[in-house]
């Protein structure tokens, strides 16, 4: 009896959560405006309570899936009794309604966490943060309850079985990609709320930046992982070996990442130097706005994409309203409350401040470029100027040069001192790195493939120019310690976070460069007994069989692969599957991953005479793409764990002077050396 | 058992006539340059029917037709531009992933470049302003120190 | 003050973008005009469905306003729109069919089962004419004027409403 009511309990829990969110939205803000501590104190308990009730709702939906309750429309449309349990669990977010519920769940989670870790922030600021977060939560909960209720029932005529999860989604990628991605999107709501609260309270001092940095870094790390997982999943799932298509939905995730990266750097400047205050606030608003915009683009049917959810203009309209109200109000608050006079903190041409300014400019240009390319077809269509497409050629043409240019400044920026640095010092520090980067970069294609390639060299030089200056910097900083290890331990986690973050970028660039230029692909006809050679590997088809899976039938080919004449030997089994419930055919790629190369085999079509068309690919360094992203994310997490964020209030002011700012310590050392 | 066999037959049927998965087909090229041109052309044309896929990756019959036509035209010795025009003539500019530079796309191609120039200007102006600010502040600071020193000297 | 005004540009720009998004909600990305609008019907040479010895070419379309309908036996929407096509034929409109990617048998089977509003059917088993017309999925309907110039294109299923509100007026316009 209780079990039969689970969807209703979930529905009811959502309504309670909405009420709590409404209180959270109104009371603390009113309290801050009228200086009533009691009202302001409503923020935290409401945030916690809201989280608890959304958690209950989410658990109810999950339970409905796990229990195969096909009286719930959402379960009937997206699940099936034959579905393996881990896919039932993930199918919750494999559709529009469930994924918005996941979004709200995480939003409430971040809000709850933010409410619990306020430390020594002034009470009215905390109240305003809670208020803003409450408002966003209200928006999403209203959206769910009014247009996308996952607890709709199909009674009395409930179906015997569900329509099954789309076969493309029946994959490990579904288990990890959306949760990570949403944690990133939603995580930026914290720094957004902070920025608005700071504007409202008229307090744009360094306190809020110090508080906001770990939250931002963490959200950024999640988003990085989420995007990387999406790319990786598309790579092995879609069967053509590509890892980024500049599809509108992919771009929708990249946009907040680009401004998020700018924000991470801008926060550093604001915290350490007190400058770029308004700019940092604007970036915080923009990043979360882009997250919201991404949600709109993906769910409204406005842009055409394989990845988009089933489209419904009514829902699109609601999200558009949500987006429009949130962003317009935020930008209005910014326009009206941003400080009028900003004390101009000075810095010189050659300084970390200047280089981070350049970094931000580049990232913003990249953001505008990607945004422009993504929405341009829509703009032209709205103006009646016809329907055009903007795809990979456009984005690659613009994005790649911008990245290369940015790398030049990245190499400099990570080792330049704040405020000012003599050109002489910088050159002395970097000339060797520069020469080494150029030499190795130019030689690399010659050594790897025997023929020079401009694009490869550009990529390798860029990547090395990011890494080698930092190597020199680590060397310089550990030079005077008793031992290398002692020196390493003295450097803060925040520093290592930066190093790893940048190294991650370099690794990704290497991956992109090598796989884009040295990918080998062959379409061949194979039948049992045929051998094909690709990049030194011999692929021999030994067998063509059929098998039955949990909810599909498959044609499997078994390939014996031999590396060279006497190298390693292994089996690969690409498949062509037919999913029973939907009748959808699908290619299951056979993948042999490796650190320095992937082997990628996909079955094409049955040529009828006992042979199949197969695509065999050799993809060098493709894993570096995602490993780089993991390194970046790991760097972000390290920065969050830095002990300065765990100091108590009494010691918190001290570090600003006797700084973790190793660059000033170093300059003293170098001056005397 | 019989059910399995019928399902297997169904499977083969669907696969044989249904999905030529993602444009995996056998094409002979004598010339690696032509092969690269074929690859680049088919990667830059959009399948008119699909939800954002290039014709080199799509299952749709029209994509297969388009790939075939590109191949034929390449064998006929047509240039890349001629082939693109041939396709646009029939399917419209929608199928070009690389939008042409024309009056309605000036903004698309021009804005990023304009932003780079604008960005460079902003950086230069900002740093100039900050350098001057810091210079002024310094001299004010220096003045204060001098005053303090002279005062101290006077009192001691 | 000047700075405030400059900053107010931000929400204004965003609202402009939001307006485009709003417009986008009512647009259908899949409804596109044919690339052949106001251009001559492509040259072709083919046999007809019923008589393989009879050859036709683009002059077939000249002399009278014609509705050219691209159809195939494999296409469910083509079957559904046959009543509308028969109605159009009854309205004294010259109808020419293009049997797209079918075998003769299948084509004839379709016509005997669903009716034949067409004066003649161009047999296009390889889809060559369809390709030159920019057809990427049946059914598609083209209105060709007396000079052989394509004046109107309808992609997809033709509903009774489409007949009344669009096709008949267009035919009248170009007559």
Could you tell me the CATH number of the domain that includes residue C136?
3.40.30.10
CB contact under 8 A, B88 and C132: no
CB contact under 8 A, C11 and A386: no
Chains B and C: how many Cβ contacts under 8 Å? 32
- Check if C33 contacts A (Cβ < 8 Å): yes
Residues of C in contact with B69 (CB under 8 A): 131
Which partners does chain B have (≥3 C-beta pairs < 8 Å)? A, C
Strand partners of residue A547: A554
Tell me what the mean pLDDT of segment A267-290 comes to: 93
How far CA B104 is from CA of A383, A385, B45, C8, in Å, comes to: 10, 7, 20, 27
pLDDT string in tens for chain B (156-residue length): 555 554 444 444 444 333 445 678 888 888 889 999 999 999 999 999 888 899 998 888 899 999 999 999 999 999 999 999 999 999 999 999 999 999 999 999 999 999 999 999 999 999 988 887 666 665 666 767 766 776 655 444
**pLDDT score at A8:** 94
Over residues A31-67, the pLDDT tens digits come to 999 999 999 999 999 999 999 999 999 999 999 999 9
Judge whether B130 and A346 are in contact, CB under 8 Å: yes
Nearest to A555, CA basis, from B1, B25, B10: B10
How far CA B109 is from CA of A267, A388, B54, B101, B113, in Å, comes to: 31, 14, 21, 7, 7
Per-window interface: B 89-118 vs A, CB < 8 A: 92-99, 104-105, 107-108, 111-112, 115-116
Range among A208-217, A254-263, A603-612 with highest mean pLDDT value: A254-263
Tell me what the mean pLDDT of segment A480-493 comes to: 83
Distance CA C71, CA C78 (A): 6
- Check if B137 contacts A (Cβ < 8 Å): yes
Distance CA A418, CA A275 (A): 12
**Where residue A433 falls among pLDDT bands split at 50, 70, 90?**
very high
Tell me what the mean pLDDT of segment C107-122 comes to: 93
**pLDDT score at B65:** 94
Distance CA C134, CA C143 (A): 14
Look at residue A81 and give its three-state secondary structure: coil
| Residue C18 is assigned to a structural domain of this protein | no
Contacts of A26 (CB under 8 A, 6+ apart): A131, A134
Share of chain A above pLDDT 90, in %: 71
Residue of B nearest to A368 (CA): B112
**pLDDT score at A310:** 65
**Shortest Cα distance from A382 to chain C (angstroms)?**
6
Nearest to A612, CA basis, from A564, A554, A561, A562: A554
Helices A206-237 and A248-273 meet at what angle, rounded to 10?
150
CB contact under 8 A, A361 and B122: yes
Q: What is the 3-state secondary structure (H, E, C) of A514-581?
A: HHHHHCEEEEEEECCCCEEEECCEEEEEEEEEEEECCCEEEEEEEEEEEECCCCCEEEECCEEEEECC
- Identify the H or E element spanning A632: helix A622-641
| Residue C16 is assigned to a structural domain of this protein | no
Tokens 């008949």 belong to residue: C168
Q: Give the least confident one: A106-120, A528-542, B3-17, C156-170.
A: B3-17
| Residue C6 is assigned to a structural domain of this protein | no
Residues of A in contact with C32 (CB under 8 A): 387
Q: Give the least confident one: A117-126, A522-531, C152-161.
A: A117-126
How far CA A254 is from CA of A185, A245, A247, A626, in Å, comes to: 11, 12, 10, 15
Residues of C in contact with B61 (CB under 8 A): 101, 127
**Where residue A669 falls among pLDDT bands split at 50, 70, 90?**
very low
Q: Give the least confident one: A482-486, A648-652, C127-131.
A: A648-652
Distance CA B99, CA A585 (A): 33
Domain that holds residue C86: 30-174
Residues counted in chain C: 175
**pLDDT score at B155:** 45
**pLDDT score at B132:** 75
Q: Give the least confident one: A122-136, A474-488, A631-645, B78-92.
A: A474-488
CB contact under 8 A, A331 and C11: yes
Over residues A624-635, the pLDDT tens digits come to 999 999 999 999
What is the side-by-side strand order in the sheet with C94-100?
C120-124, C94-100, C66-71, C140-144, C150-155
Distance CA A237, CA A490 (A): 44
Please, what is the end-to-end C-alpha distance for chain A in angstroms? 80
- Check if C127 contacts B (Cβ < 8 Å): yes
| Residue C12 is assigned to a structural domain of this protein | no
Q: Give me A165's structure tokens.
A: 């999860």
| Residue C138 is assigned to a structural domain of this protein | yes
**pLDDT score at A168:** 83
**pLDDT score at B69:** 95
Comparing A179 with C170, the larger pLDDT belongs to A179
Nearest to A661, CA basis, from A213, A215, A273, A264: A273
Distance CA A88, CA C150 (A): 52
How far CA A530 is from CA of A525, A534, A559, A574, in Å, comes to: 8, 13, 10, 15
Contacts of A108 (CB under 8 A, 6+ apart): A17, A21, A47, A50, A51, A54, A55, A137
Phi/psi at C51 (5° precision) = -130, 105
Chains A and B: how many Cβ contacts under 8 Å? 180
Comparing A254 with B23, the larger pLDDT belongs to A254
To the nearest whole number, what is the mean pLDDT of chain C? Answer: 91
Tokens 């810095």 belong to residue: A347
Residue of C nearest to A312 (CA): C25
Between CA C20 and CA C29, with CA C25 as vertex, the angle to 5 degrees is: 95
**Shortest Cα distance from C132 to chain B (angstroms)?**
6
Tokens 């962003």 belong to residue: A327
**Where residue A1 falls among pLDDT bands split at 50, 70, 90?**
low
Nearest to A433, CA basis, from A469, A463, A466: A469
Distance CA A184, CA A626 (A): 17
On the question of pLDDT at A95 being above 50, the answer is: yes
**pLDDT score at B17:** 37
On the question of pLDDT at A668 being above 60, the answer is: no
Question: What letter would DSSP give residue C163?
Answer: I
| Residue C22 is assigned to a structural domain of this protein | no
To the nearest whole number, what is the mean pLDDT of chain A? Answer: 90
Look at residue A616 and give its three-state secondary structure: strand
Question: What letter would DSSP give residue A417?
Answer: P
Comparing A338 with A105, the larger pLDDT belongs to A105
Look at residue C120 and give its three-state secondary structure: strand
* Best residue in C14, C15, C136 for a mutation probing chain A (most A CBs within 10 Å): C14
**pLDDT score at B9:** 47
Q: Is the dihedral of CA A193, A198, A199, A204 positive or negative?
A: negative
| Residue C14 is assigned to a structural domain of this protein | no
Look at residue C62 and give its three-state secondary structure: coil
**pLDDT score at B134:** 62
Q: Is A368 left (phi over 0), alpha (psi -120 to 50) or beta?
A: alpha
Please, what is the end-to-end C-alpha distance for chain B in angstroms? 110
On the question of pLDDT at A483 being above 90, the answer is: no
Judge whether A390 and B107 are in contact, CB under 8 Å: no
- Check if C75 contacts B (Cβ < 8 Å): no
**pLDDT score at A166:** 86
Judge whether A633 and A496 are in contact, CB under 8 Å: no
Helices A96-116 and A123-147 meet at what angle, rounded to 10?
170
Q: Are strands A612-620 and C45-47 parallel, antiparallel or unpaired?
A: unpaired
Residue A355: other Cβ atoms inside 10 A: 23
**Shortest Cα distance from B5 to chain A (angstroms)?**
10
| Residue C9 is assigned to a structural domain of this protein | no
Q: Give the least confident one: A26-35, A275-284, A576-585, C110-119.
A: A576-585
Helices C2-26 and A277-300 meet at what angle, rounded to 10?
10
The reply to whether omega before C159 is within 30° of 0 (cis) is no
- Check if C29 contacts A (Cβ < 8 Å): yes
How far CA C106 is from CA of C72, C102, C112, C130, in Å, comes to: 8, 6, 10, 18
- Identify the H or E element spanning C95: strand C94-100
Over residues A362-420, the pLDDT tens digits come to 999 999 999 999 999 999 999 989 999 999 999 999 999 999 999 999 999 999 989 88
A→C contacts (Cβ < 8 Å), by residue, are: 282, 289, 296, 300-304, 313, 316-317, 320, 323-324, 327-328, 331-332, 334-336, 338, 340, 375, 378-379, 381-382, 386-387
Tokens 């940015």 belong to residue: A406
Against a cut of 0.95, is the pTM above it? no
Look at residue A585 and give its three-state secondary structure: strand
Tell me what the mean pLDDT of segment C55-82 comes to: 93
Share of chain A above pLDDT 70, in %: 95
**pLDDT score at C158:** 92
Judge whether A227 and A251 are in contact, CB under 8 Å: no
Exposure of A588 by Cβ count < 10 A (0-12 exposed, 13-18 middle, 19+ buried)? buried
Count of domains forming chain C = 1
Over residues C6-25, the pLDDT tens digits come to 899 999 999 999 999 999 88
**pLDDT score at A85:** 93
Residues of A in contact with B4 (CB under 8 A): 548
Look at residue C49 and give its three-state secondary structure: coil
């Amino acid at each position: 009896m209780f079990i039969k009511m689970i969807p209703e309990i979930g529905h009811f829990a959502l309504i309670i959560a909405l009420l709590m969110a409404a209180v959270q939205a109104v009371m603390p803000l009113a309290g801050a405006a009228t200086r009533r501590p009691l009202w302001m104190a409503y923020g935290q308990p409401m945030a916690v309570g809201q989280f608890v009730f959304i958690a209950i709702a989410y658990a109810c939906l999950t339970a409905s899936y796990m229990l195969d309750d096909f009286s719930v429309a959402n379960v009937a449309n997206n699940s099936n009794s034959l579905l393996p349990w881990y896919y039932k669990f993930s199918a919750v977010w494999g559709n529009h309604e469930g994924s918005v519920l996941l979004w709200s769940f995480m939003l409430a989670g971040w809000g709850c966490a933010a409410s619990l870790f306020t430390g020594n922030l002034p009470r009215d600021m905390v109240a305003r943060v809670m208020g803003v977060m409450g408002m966003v939560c209200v928006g999403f909960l209203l959206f769910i309850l009014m247009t996308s209720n996952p607890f709709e029932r199909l009674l009395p005529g409930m179906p015997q079985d569900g329509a099954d999860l789309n076969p493309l989604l029946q994959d490990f990628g579904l288990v990890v990609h959306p949760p990570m991605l949403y944690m990133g999107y939603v995580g930026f709501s914290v720094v957004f709320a902070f920025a608005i609260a700071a504007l409202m309270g008229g307090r744009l001092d360094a306190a809020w930046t110090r508080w906001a940095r770990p939250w931002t870094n963490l959200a950024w790390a999640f988003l990085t992982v989420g995007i990387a997982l999406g790319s990786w999943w598309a790579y092995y799932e879609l069967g053509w070996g590509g890892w980024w298509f500049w599809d509108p939905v992919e771009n929708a995730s990249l946009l907040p990442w680009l401004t998020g990266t700018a924000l991470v750097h801008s926060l550093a400047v604001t915290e350490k130097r007190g400058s770029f205050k308004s700019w940092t606030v604007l970036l915080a608003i923009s990043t979360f706005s882009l997250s919201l915009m991404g949600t709109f683009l993906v769910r409204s049917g406005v842009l055409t994409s394989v990845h988009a959810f089933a489209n419904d203009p009514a829902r699109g309209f609601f999200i558009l309203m949500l987006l429009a109200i949130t962003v317009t109000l935020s930008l209005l608050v910014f326009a009206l409350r941003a400080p009028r006079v900003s004390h101009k903190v000075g810095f010189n041409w050659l300084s970390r401040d200047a280089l981070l300014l350049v970094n931000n400019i580049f990232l913003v240009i990249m953001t505008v470029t990607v945004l422009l390319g993504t929405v341009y077809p829509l703009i032209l269509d709205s103006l009646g100027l016809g329907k055009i497409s903007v795809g990979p050629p456009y984005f690659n043409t613009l994005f790649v040069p911008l990245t290369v240019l940015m790398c030049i400044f990245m190499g400099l920026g990570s080792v330049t001192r704040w405020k000012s640095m003599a050109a002489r010092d910088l050159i002395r520090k970097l000339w060797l790195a520069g020469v080494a980067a150029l030499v190795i970069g130019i030689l690399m294609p010659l050594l790897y493939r025997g023929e020079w390639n401009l694009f490869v060299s550009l990529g390798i030089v860029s990547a090395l120019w990011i890494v080698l200056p930092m190597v020199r910097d680590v060397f310089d900083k550990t030079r005077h310690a008793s031992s290398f290890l002692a020196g390493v331990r003295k450097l803060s986690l925040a520093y290592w976070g930066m190093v790893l973050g940048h190294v991650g970028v370099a690794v990704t660039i290497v991956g992109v460069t090598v796989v884009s230029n040295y990918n080998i692909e062959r379409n061949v006809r194979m039948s049992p007994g045929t051998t094909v050679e690709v990049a030194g590997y011999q692929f021999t088809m030994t067998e063509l069989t059929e098998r039955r899976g949990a909810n599909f039938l498959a044609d499997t080919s078994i390939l014996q692969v031999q590396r060279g004449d006497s190298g390693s030997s292994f089996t690969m089994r690409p498949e062509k599957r037919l999913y029973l419930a939907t009748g959808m055919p699908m290619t299951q790629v056979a993948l042999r991953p490796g650190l320095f190369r992937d082997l990628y085999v996909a079955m094409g079509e049955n040529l009828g005479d006992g042979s199949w068309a197969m695509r065999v690919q050799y993809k060098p360094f493709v894993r570096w793409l995602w490993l780089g992203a993991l390194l970046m994310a790991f760097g972000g997490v390290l920065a969050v764990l830095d002990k300065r964020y765990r100091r108590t209030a009494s010691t918190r002011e001290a570090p600003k002077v006797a700084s973790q700012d190793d660059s000033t310590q170093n300059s003293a050392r170098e001056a005397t050396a | 058992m019989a059910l399995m066999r019928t399902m297997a037959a169904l499977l083969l049927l669907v696969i044989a006539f249904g999905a030529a998965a993602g444009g995996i087909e056998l094409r002979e090229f004598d010339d690696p340059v032509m092969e690269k041109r074929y690859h680049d052309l088919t990667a830059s044309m959009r399948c008119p029917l699909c939800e954002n896929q290039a014709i080199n990756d799509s299952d749709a019959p029209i994509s297969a037709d388009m790939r075939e036509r590109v191949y034929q035209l390449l064998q006929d010795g047509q240039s890349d531009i001629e082939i693109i025009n041939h396709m646009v003539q029939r399917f419209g500019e929608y199928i070009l992933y690389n939008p042409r530079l024309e009056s309605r796309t000036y903004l698309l191609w021009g804005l990023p470049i304009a932003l780079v120039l604008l960005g460079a200007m902003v950086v230069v102006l900002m740093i100039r302003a900050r350098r001057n600010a810091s210079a002024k502040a310094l001299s004010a600071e220096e003045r204060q120190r001098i005053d303090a020193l002279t005062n101290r000297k006077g009192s001691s | 003050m000047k700075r405030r005004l400059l900053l107010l540009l931000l929400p204004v720009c965003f609202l402009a973008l939001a307006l485009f998004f709003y417009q986008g909600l009512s647009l259908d990305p899949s409804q596109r005009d044919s690339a052949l609008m106001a251009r001559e019907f492509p040259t072709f040479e083919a046999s007809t469905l019923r008589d393989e010895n009879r050859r036709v070419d683009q002059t077939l379309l000249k002399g009278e306003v014609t509705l050219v309908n691209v159809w195939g036996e494999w296409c469910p929407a083509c079957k559904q729109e046959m009543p509308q096509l028969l109605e159009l034929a009854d309205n004294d409109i010259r109808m020419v069919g293009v049997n797209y990617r079918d075998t003769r048998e299948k084509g004839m089977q379709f016509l005997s089962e669903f009716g034949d509003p067409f004066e003649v059917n161009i047999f296009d088993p390889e889809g060559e004419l369809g390709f030159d017309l920019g057809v990427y999925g049946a059914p598609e309907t083209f209105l060709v004027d007396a000079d052989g110039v394509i004046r109107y294109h309808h992609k997809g299923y033709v509903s009774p409403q489409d007949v009344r509100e669009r096709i008949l007026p267009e035919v009248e316009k170009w007559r």
